[in-house]
Amino acid sequence: MECIFCRIAARKHPAKIIYEDDISIAFEDINPQAPVHTLIVPKKHISTNLDLKEEDNILIGHLFQVANKIAKDKGIAEKGFRLIINCNPGSGQTVFHIHLHVIGGRRMHWPPG
């Protein structure tokens, strides 16, 4: 079966989508860890960071541009926000379709758990 984020991108599974373009889609995390917790997902299925190819460099850069737009639109850019890509189970990755977490709206702690 198709992965859950491919299904969301194809509108086969519901999500609160807040942004979309040809390359990516962004939607609210179902289990938010902060007042702002948005996921930015490439429409291309890539399982983990380790699967990125040279040809994906523009795609990955694009996700970071979208993250800036979302952080500005949500009013968390100036105070600060965190971008996270988990890679493989030891990091906490649970969905094996690469995604960029945009987390903010509260004081973030360091180091992360």
**Phi/psi class of residue 18: alpha, beta or left (left: φ > 0; alpha: ψ in -120 to 50)?**
alpha
Gap between the Cα atoms of 25 and 42, Å rounded = 6
Site string for Zn ion, 16-55 (x = CB under 5 A): -----------------------------x----------
Q: Which stretch binds Zn ion (CB under 5 A): 5-13, 18-26, 31-39, 76-84?
A: 5-13
Residues that bind ligand 5GP (CB under 6 A): 4, 15, 27-31, 39, 86, 92-95
Query: Rule CB under 5 A: is residue 97 a binding residue for Zn ion?
Result: yes
Intra-chain end-to-end CA distance of the chain, in Å: 32
Is-catalytic flag, 99? yes
Confirm if 104 and 79 have CB atoms less than 8 A apart.
yes
